[in-house]
Amino acid sequence: MPWNVKDTMSLRQEFVSLAAAQSLPFSVLCRRFDISRQTGYKWLERHRDEGPAGLADRSRRPHHSPTRSPDPLVERVLALRQEYGWGGRKIRRRLLDLGHTQVPAPATITEILRRHGMIPERESAQRQHWQRFEHEHPNSLWQMDFKGDFQTLESGRCSPLTVIDDHSRFNIVLKACSRTTTEIVQAELQQAFRCYGLPARINTDNGAPWGSPSSPGQITELAVWLIRLGVHVSYSGPYHPQTNGKDERFHRSLKAEVLQRHAFTTHEHVQRELNRWRHVYNSERPHEALGMATPLTRYRPSPRAMPEHLPEPEYGPGDEVLLVNSSGLVRLRGQKLRLSIALKGLRVAARPKEDEDGVFELWFAHHRVATLDLKAALP
């Protein structure tokens, strides 16, 4: 699956890091990355013997030259700032990760950047620090959204699809999309599920294709597919984008470090830059909310593999099972109730609500889709 992406070096590093965590059997991880066990062991052996450089092609350029500037550390600080736009704390941590010694304090690095005219006067004053809730384990919650679209020079408008793991901030999906349709999102999620496994829950806003803006509360075709896979679906409250705050923050970094730095010609051009930056973000870029660790060090694939066939929902012996008609309607005790056209031809369960006589809850698999009060329907 992922080896079809052109940025093979980044995927090799990701594979080695996930294999070292031993959260999945090695054969399962190889299968998800669509490589043989022999290939997987080859990359582990090269990484063990040579470090990250062992994952590159055999013809490699030297990492440094004896004829460099007499002040290479300052040069490296400025290069990291120029390439990524990072501040003092991120640059310091990255220098340490790269093996530099006697790295100055973040304040000193910030002063180097200021001295060389690389920090606008008002940047520090505009910084905001957030204290956010975080799920305890990877894959407990993924956050999903589209970054606002922008124009390319030759291929029309582009809308990057983003999926972030809440616990680790690991970027699961970063795809340059020409449209924001159910088919495109489902194809990208399907690819992600095959590689990283199924999350417990995915949260989105209420917009299409995951929400139904014209009929709030009605589940969509995409939501039905996720629910059948056993993934819980939740939505941010109206006018409360902070519910998806980690993905919103990811969008800010994506805009500052990639989208504002290029004039894109085609969607393929966008995707090349997204692939490059995704590796930097997941594996190299120190994350302040993670104590300057990288997302990859905190992420583990889900043990829940994507099933080969889409399962039918199962209901209990006390449930009253109803068939949703072609208009998205069901009948219960002589009453009609509109659920969603996305449920047509599928079965839902009606369950009496405890302590409320005459009130039924209608469930599709684990997801409650409606409540019907038979007393309110009486003349």
Q: Would you say 172 and 232 are in contact if contact means Cβ atoms under 8 Å apart? A: no
For residue 57, the model assigns a pLDDT of 63
Q: What is the pLDDT of residues 57-102, one digit of tens each?
A: 655 445 454 444 347 888 888 888 878 878 888 888 888 888 887 8
Minimal CA–CA distance to 305: which of 139, 71, 84, 111?
A: 139
For residue 326, the model assigns a pLDDT of 94
For residue 134, the model assigns a pLDDT of 60
Q: Per-residue pLDDT for the chain (379 aa), expressed as one digit of tens each? A: 444 444 677 888 899 989 988 889 999 999 998 899 999 999 899 888 888 888 876 554 454 544 443 478 888 888 888 788 788 888 888 888 888 878 888 888 887 887 777 776 544 434 444 345 567 789 999 999 999 899 999 999 999 999 999 999 999 999 999 999 999 999 999 999 999 999 999 999 888 898 877 776 679 999 999 999 999 999 886 655 556 788 899 999 999 999 998 899 999 999 999 999 999 999 998 888 888 899 999 999 999 999 989 988 999 988 999 999 999 999 998 899 999 999 999 999 999 988 788 899 999 999 999 999 887 755 5
For residue 241, the model assigns a pLDDT of 52
For residue 216, the model assigns a pLDDT of 66
For residue 217, the model assigns a pLDDT of 67
For residue 149, the model assigns a pLDDT of 92
